[in-house]
Amino acid sequence: MTRNAAALRNDQAMLIVMKSQASADQVEHVLRAIRDHGLTPHPLPGATRTAIGITGNTGAIDPASFEALPGVMEAIRVTRPYKLASREMHPDDTVVSLPHTRFGPGTFTIVAGPCSVENEEMIFRTAEFLLSRGVRLMRAGAFKPRTSPYSFQGLEFEGLEILARVRHKTGIAVVTEVLDAAHVTAVEAAVDMLQVGARNMQNFSLLKRLARSSLPVLLKRGMSATLDEWLMAAEYLLADGNRQVVLCERGVRTFADHTRNTLDLSIIPPVRRYSHLPIIADPSHGTGMRDYVPAMALAALAAGADGIMLEVHPEPEKALSDGAQSLDFAGFDRVLESLRKIAEPLGRAIH
Ligand code: PEP
Ligand code: MN
Among protein residues, the one with the nearest Cα to ligand 1's atom 4 is 197
pTM listed for this prediction: 0.89
Q: Which amino acid type is present at position 327?
A: L
Residues having C-beta closer than 5 Å to ion ligand 2:
115, 322
Residue 155: per-residue pLDDT: 98
Q: How far does CA 121 lie from the centroid of its chain?
A: 29
Residue 115 in contact with ligand 1 by CB distance below 6 A = yes
The pLDDT, as a whole number, for residue 50 is: 84
| Contact status, residue 266 vs residue 294, Cβ threshold 8 Å | no
To the nearest 10°, report the CA torsion of 296, 297, 301, 306: 120
Is the minimum distance from the CB of 209 to ligand 1 under 6 angstroms?
A: no
Q: What is the DSSP letter of 11?
A: S
Distances (CA, A) of 313 to 123, 153, 211, 256, 321: 9, 17, 31, 27, 10
CB 328 within 8 A of CB 286: no
The mean pLDDT values, 10 residues at a time, for the chain of 351 residues are 47 84 94 92 78 82 92 90 89 95 97 98 98 98 96 97 98 98 98 98 97 98 98 93 96 97 98 98 98 98 98 98 98 98 97 94
Question: In which region does residue 347 sit, left (phi positive, over 0), alpha (psi from -120 to 50) or beta (all else)?
Answer: left
For residue 172, the one-letter residue type is I
**Main-chain dihedrals φ then ψ at residue 208, nearest 5 degrees:** -65, -35
The pLDDT assigned to 101 comes to 97
Report pLDDT for 298. Answer: 98
Q: What is the pLDDT of residue 3?
A: 46
Phi and psi, residue 224, nearest 5°: -135, 25
Q: Which residue's alpha carbon is nearest to atom 10 within ligand 1?
A: 198
Which ligand gives the minimal distance to the CA of 145? 1
Gap from CA of 329 to ligand 2 centroid (Å): 17
Report how far ligand 1's centroid is from the alpha carbon of 192 (Å). Answer: 17
Ligand at minimal distance from the CA of 323 is 2
Which pLDDT value is given to residue 90?
A: 87
Q: What is the CATH number of domain 96-350?
A: 3.20.20.70
Q: Are 260 and 285 within 8 A, CB to CB? A: yes
Identity of residue 43: P
**Ligand 1 within 6 A of CB of 222:** no
Report the separation in Å between the CA atom of 55 and the middle of ligand 2, taken as the mean of its atom positions: 40
Find the farthest-apart pair of alpha carbons in the chain and give their distance in angstroms, rounded. 67
Report which of 276, 275, 274, 342 is spatially closest to residue 308, judged by C-alpha positions.
342
307 near 111, Cβ under 8 Å? Answer: yes
Q: Is the CB of 248 under 6 A from ligand 1?
A: no
Q: How far apart are CA 152 and CA 244, in angstroms?
A: 31
Distance (Å, whole) CA 325 – CA 139: 15
What integer pLDDT is reported at residue 11 of this predicted model?
A: 56
Distance (Å) from CA 337 to ligand 2 centroid: 23
> What ligand is nearest to the CA atom of residue 319?
2
User: How many residues does this entry show for the chain?
Assistant: 351
Residue 47 one-letter amino acid: A
Per-residue confidence (pLDDT) for residue 223, from 0 to 100: 97
Q: Give the nearest ligand 1 atom to 145 CA.
A: 5
- How far apart, in whole angstroms, are the C-alpha atoms of residue 341 and residue 107? 14
Q: How do the domains of the chain map onto residue ranges?
A: 3-78, 96-350
Q: Quick one: 3-78 is in which CATH superfamily?
A: Phospho-2-dehydro-3-deoxyheptonate aldolase; domain 1 (3.30.70.1140)
Interhelix angle 157-170/120-132, nearest 10 degrees: 40
The answer to whether the Cα torsion of 239, 241, 242, 243 is positive or negative is: positive
Q: Which ligand is nearest to the CA of 146?
A: 1
Ligand 1 proximity of 251 Cβ (cutoff 6 Å): no
How far is ligand 1, taken at its centre, from the CA of residue 85, in Å? Answer: 23
Cα–Cα distance, 181 to 315 (Å, whole number): 32
